[in-house]
Amino acid sequence: SYDVTQPPSVSVSPGQTASITCSGDNLGDKFVAWYQQKPGQSPVLVIYKDNKRPSGIPERFSGSNSGNTATLTISETQPVDEAEFYCQAWDSSIVILGGGTKLTVL
Amino acid sequence: EMNLVESGGGLVQPRRSLRLSCSVSGFTFGDYAMSWFRQAPGQGLQWVALITNRAYGATTQYAASVRGRFTISRDDSRSIVYLQMSSLKTEDTAVYFCSRAVSEYGDSWYFDLWGRGALVTVTS
């Protein structure tokens, strides 16, 4: 079965750029979405189709996907961005989810 | 305003059944595929099941961990998606979220709207 791997945690200082990776075999051949989930809340879609941003998502959120790695980049990170982030792909009629990355802004 | 509201969660004994419902409003339900996810306490998100809309044959897909025990279905006339859960195990304890699925060509789904979730606790 297809798997994707995320780092368990990423730390960033306020105002700096955070990068969260999602790795899988030839992941660049698939579309990747990213979700942000804050404690006690539902997930929110922040990136779809590798680099598309839904309406209402700040421009500081961006995405890329090439080779074996997809990356969610948050520029000028703010304390409000602290959350768990999940990458998601689709393979063989199955939704594939990463294990999640805890973004800490400190 | 687009809304997804889950209901039917609660306490249930192992090996028993439970049905979750997700009522949708604010968009044309029949135009979209729908999906269920779950999140065990302190754990990550896990996909459970997906049902396409009628245009794609209302086909269903399941995670291996629930295939054969859970059934996803939809009632387009009432804008509700269901998750029938049977032979429940303690490891099925989780918050269950319903979500709206989007795709251009019936694959590469992503999920743009989510409900607030319903807690299912499986315990003796």
Gap between the Cα atoms of B59 and B42, Å rounded: 31
More confident residue, A93 or B29: B29
The predicted structure's pLDDT at residue A12: 97
Q: What is the pLDDT of residues A1-58, one digit of tens each?
A: 899 999 999 999 999 999 999 999 999 999 999 999 999 999 999 999 999 999 999 9
Is A102 in contact with A9 (CB distance < 8 Å)?
yes
Gap between the Cα atoms of A94 and A96, Å rounded: 6
The predicted structure's pLDDT at residue A81: 97
Q: Is B91 helix (H, G, I), strand (E, B) or coil?
A: helix
In chain B, which stretches have pLDDT less than 50? none
Q: What is the pLDDT of residues A54-92, one digit of tens each?
A: 999 999 999 999 999 999 999 999 999 999 999 999 998
Gap between the Cα atoms of B18 and B38, Å rounded: 15
The predicted structure's pLDDT at residue B26: 96
The predicted structure's pLDDT at residue B104: 79
Kindly write down the DSSP assignment for every residue of A22-83, as one continuous string: EE-TTGGGS--EEEEE-TTS--EEEEBTTTB--TTS-TTEEEEEETTEEEEEESS--GGG-E
Q: Is B74 helix (H, G, I), strand (E, B) or coil?
A: strand
Cβ distance A94 to B47 less than 8 Å, yes or no, reads yes
Contacts of B66 in chain A (CB under 8 A): none
Contacts of A48 in chain B (CB under 8 A): 102, 110, 112
Closest residue to B110, CB basis, from A33, A44, A94: A33
